[in-house]
Structure 1
Amino acid sequence: MTQSQAGQLPRFPFETEAALEPPAEWARYQAECPVAHVRLASGDEATLLTRYDDVKSLLADPRFTRPTAADNAARVADTESGGLFNSEMSNVLPQHGEGHLRWRRMVGKWFTARRMNALRPAIEAMAEQLVDEMVAKGGPADLKAAVGFPLPVWVICDLLGVPDADRDRFAHWSDTLLSMTRYTQAEMDLAQLEFAQYMAGHIAAKRAAPGDDLLSALIGETGPDGEPMSDPALIATGMGLLIAGHETTANMISKMVAMLLADRSRWEQLLADPVLVRTAVEESLRLDANAGFGMARYLTEDLEIAGTTLPGGTTAVCSMAAANRDEEVFTGAAEMDLTRSPNPHLAFGAGAHACLGQPLARTELQVVLEVLLRRLPSLELAVPVAELRKVEGLAVGGLRELPVRWRS
């Protein structure tokens, strides 16, 4: 395909003016073109899937995984390496088969429902402290900066045994490695180098003086083959969990609260019936219109989807956010129903590569919402919904800030 042909393709992710509203292309593509050709920020062509059944089936298909450096896949970013997506560190961890399952089992033990219940009181205490500090400074305030960002950073730093005093550095490294259009290749390379050096030093320190944290446990654990996890794998695990453990949840906290305050009857419904917090969190995850890029899969063989044969070598982008608004699966899919149950959304993916940290993300979102409802029942947006500003140029969607106010 020539560059002029590529230029005629719609660019993905699609642009929208409103931070909380979906692009019109989602519904149109679901109805008219469920297997669509799009152009990524890199200029490379990919195939976009937007229907629920198609997205779920591809994500759950064990034959295919995310693109690796060995694949001739479409690049996500407008730089040579594609930041986090095609970085050397991202390819250290096994992506297929028993090696991948073994890694997930070793790490996943730290994200069980039992562990999350044990963590819940500490997360709640931290949320209370952050709300206290925000209230003490007075409103209006930026809820993302005051609560949404520091809470998940504190939690994941505690889990990994790294100082949350370094959270601003983690945020910069995460943003850079998640870049699609914001940072240059040189900036990505530097961020990757600095982050890897930081994590290598942290792991060396943990090896010398283990603590009660995930990385210390992984250092001391051996797999079924009797071999411990290698240092490159430990570094990649630490980097991946720090990025995933704070970036997505920090953004989702502010988006969830914004969605609930955009129509204040939703907030009032939760105040009247706090039992709905759990289903409200799930519905916020489903209805997230600013979810970011989605998940890419590299097809190593021909695959038929929605009556179309995709040849091996295709890079398919699964838009979970679009799939979560599929009217064939969710009645009144465009509406926010805080009582919706069951709610089989795909916000955390599906199959062997579904988000490991989803129990932690759910716990943090539930706790933050419970604390805000209890402590600040009069909470409201401090700007019109139309003035909320999106994060631009990153693979993860979010709000730049969330201005709120409350009555003292």
Structure 2
Amino acid sequence: MDLQGELIEHPHSVYDRLRDAAPVCRITGTDGTPAWLVTRYDDVRAALADPRLSLDKSHAVEGGYRGLSLPPALDANLLNMDPPDHTRIRRLVSRAFTPRRTEQLRTPIRATADRLLDALGPAGTADLVAAYAAPLPIVVICDLLGVPEDHRLDFRSWTDALFAPDPNRPGATKESVVAILGFFTELMAHKRSRPADDLLSDLIAVRDADGDRLSEDELMSLAFLILFAGYENTVQLIGNAIHTLLEHPEELARLRKDPSAIPAAVEELARYEGPAPLAIRRFPTEDVTIAGVTVPAGETVLLSLASANRDPARFARPDLLDLDRDTSGHLALGHGIHYCLGAPLARAETEIALAALLERYPVLEAASPAPRWRRSLRARGLTELPVRYDTAGSPH
């Protein structure tokens, strides 16, 4: 199957067919190389926690799909690691993303959301991706890392080049990688000369005091991963949630009336249209059998989170948005030891973004042109989300 075609244009209908006819099938990756796609919930969940499925590219055979190609200074990150290195590095940063730490960030996150809505004004039309869903996570993750305001560049153009490359600009991805590497090299030098009370300064201190705990490449790669994963996934989560609610006005009105239902709604919105269609690629360290199909050691396995979350064997009437649904066990943010490190923060940002938006604008509806999805298998998100909004009747 050509991943560039149907799976981008009509992912859910394709996954419906695959779960029934070929739950583990041979496909062609975005770079033309082969991989195995797994689509059923039980198989995907089990594979996410299977230690035989490695993230380390050294286990990959030649000629298979490997995903993004990055220089060593950006590639030594958690998405390419197994224990014990994965455990060692994750432990260094996990305390920054605990539920308790996230609760302390809720007030500044809400203040940022309010500032962005202030800039929109009382009424008008706007692209909520560019004006709201994208800048909110940028501010939050940059504040957490300690990225100075004058260093906050156009991350979105870089991530677009990485996750949804333009076929008309074949050199854009390489240019973005060079720009990203230059950005982080400069940022590290800046933080070393001017350390502050932030996560990046703490990580640099760990590296400089004890290089055995964190190499220079691991430090740079970790900063890259925190910034870009913390930004990219949350942009999609917020944008997809707003878009889905606009398509379900009764549910939007329900949340406007009862904001206390928003945290549970975010779980269903993530299940329904999550930010990552596929988990990071994996490579079996030995032959593994999934749903009766033997995948040879070293060949690439892609686990479809989007398909698993719409599997009727796990979620009744999965194509229905049901804010009362028991969403426990959804896989939008992963499962197992590689479960999304920033999940508590992404949830909090999405909850706050929705609450602030619905509180501010009693009138909120889709505008022209129609929203467009990014042409990407790595990220499920909108390139833009035009809306019409109005504070009429609002205390604001």
* TM-score, L = length of structure 2: 0.90
Cα offsets for 1:171-229 (capped at 9, x unmatched): 22222233456476643333222212221221122222211111111112269987352
Equivalent positions of 1:4-403 (< 5 A) are 9-11=1-3, 14-15=6-7, 17=9, 22-66=11-55, 68=57, 71-72=60-61, 76=65, 82=67, 84-85=68-69, 87-93=71-77, 95-136=81-122, 138-179=123-164, 182=167, 186-221=171-206, 227-288=212-273, 291-383=276-368, 387-393=370-376, 395-403=378-386
Distance 1:225 1:289, change over 3 A: closer
For structure 2, which runs of at least 5 residues remain unmatched after alignment? none
Aligned length in residues: 389
Which of structure 1's runs of 4+ aligned residues deviate more than 6 A?
Answer: 222-226
Whole-Å separation in 1 of the counterparts to 2:311 and 2:352: 29
Whole-Å separation in 1 of the counterparts to 2:84 and 2:58: 20
Distance 1:394 1:212, change over 3 A: farther
Whole-Å separation in 2 of the counterparts to 1:152 and 1:72: 37
Alignment-mate amino acid for residue 119 of structure 1: L
For structure 1, which runs of at least 5 residues remain unmatched after alignment? 1-8
More off after superposition, 37-46 vs 188-197: 188-197
Aligned residues of 2:2 and 2:28 also touching (Cα < 8 A): yes
Whole-Å separation in 1 of the counterparts to 2:179 and 2:260: 44
SS in 1 for 2:6: coil
Aligned residues of 2:7 and 2:14 also touching (Cα < 8 A): no
Aligned residues of 2:56 and 2:82 also touching (Cα < 8 A): no
Alignment-mate amino acid for residue 119 of structure 2: E
SS in 2 for 1:379: strand
Whole-Å separation in 2 of the counterparts to 1:200 and 1:251: 27
Whole-Å separation in 1 of the counterparts to 2:19 and 2:194: 54
Whole-Å separation in 1 of the counterparts to 2:326 and 2:12: 25
Whole-Å separation in 2 of the counterparts to 1:394 and 1:304: 25
Aligned residues of 1:67 and 1:73 also touching (Cα < 8 A): no
Distance 1:182 1:123, change over 3 A: farther
How many angstroms does 1:290 deviate by?
6.9
Aligned residues of 1:76 and 1:180 also touching (Cα < 8 A): no
Alignment-mate amino acid for residue 310 of structure 2: R
Whole-Å separation in 2 of the counterparts to 1:271 and 1:103: 41
More off after superposition, 291-300 vs 397-406: 291-300
Aligned residues of 2:305 and 2:334 also touching (Cα < 8 A): yes
Whole-Å separation in 2 of the counterparts to 1:223 and 1:71: 33
More off after superposition, 388-397 vs 352-361: 388-397
Aligned residues of 2:165 and 2:172 also touching (Cα < 8 A): no
Whole-Å separation in 1 of the counterparts to 2:135 and 2:55: 30
Q: RMSD of the alignment, in Å?
A: 2.5
Cα offsets for 1:333-392 (capped at 9, x unmatched): 1111112224311111111111111111001000001111211122111248xx321112
SS in 2 for 1:139: strand
More off after superposition, 108-117 vs 185-194: 185-194
Whole-Å separation in 1 of the counterparts to 2:166 and 2:54: 24
How many angstroms does 1:72 deviate by?
2.3
Aligned residues of 2:237 and 2:275 also touching (Cα < 8 A): no
SS in 2 for 1:396: coil
Distance 1:63 1:228, change over 3 A: same
How many angstroms does 1:86 deviate by?
5.1
Whole-Å separation in 1 of the counterparts to 2:8 and 2:191: 45
Distance 1:163 1:223, change over 3 A: closer
Whole-Å separation in 2 of the counterparts to 1:184 and 1:90: 22
